[in-house]
């Protein structure tokens, strides 16, 4: 069944937040790929994922001084973007009464 939820009511700020999260993730992967010569694309994506999720598994390869500086700024930038994303998602859920709409469909 198709949802009756109107795409036009999708918050542009929420879309912007999701786009920023995607861009930050891509920037992180590209940054690690360029700054760490011994890793491939998959390892760069892995480094981005463990940095963004703060799981602390450790680096794939030892970080160069440039990569350490990049990581510092990458973490600060990603925290800001994710905070904006959480704010927009929360605002969307509250203002659109998502939970009420879900209850009405049942």
pLDDT in tens, 20-75: 989 999 999 999 999 998 899 999 999 899 888 887 777 788 888 999 999 999 99
- Please give the residue that has the higher pLDDT: either 64 or 101: 64
Could you report how far apart the first and last alpha carbons of the chain are, in Å? 14
Tell me which long-range contacts 34-43 makes (C-beta under 8 A, separation of at least 24).
35/64, 35/66, 35/67, 35/70, 36/60, 36/61, 36/63, 36/64, 36/67
In this model, does residue 8 exceed pLDDT 80? Answer: no
How many separate helices (H) and strands (E) can be counted in the chain?
Answer: 4, 0
Q: What is the CATH number of domain 12-105?
A: 1.10.287.70
Record the pTM: 0.71
pLDDT given for residue 69 in this prediction: 94
């Amino acid at each position: 069944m198709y949802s009756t939820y109107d795409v036009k009511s999708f918050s542009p700020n929420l879309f912007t937040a999701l786009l920023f999260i995607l861009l930050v993730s891509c920037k992180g992967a590209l940054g690690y790929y360029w700054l760490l010569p011994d890793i491939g694309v998959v390892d760069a994506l892995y480094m981005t994922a463990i940095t963004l999720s703060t799981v602390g598994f450790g680096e794939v390869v030892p970080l160069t001084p440039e990569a350490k500086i990049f990581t510092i700024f990458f973490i600060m930038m990603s925290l800001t973007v994710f905070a904006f994303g959480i704010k927009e998602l929360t605002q969307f859920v509250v203002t659109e009464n998502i939970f009420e709409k879900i209850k009405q469909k049942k």
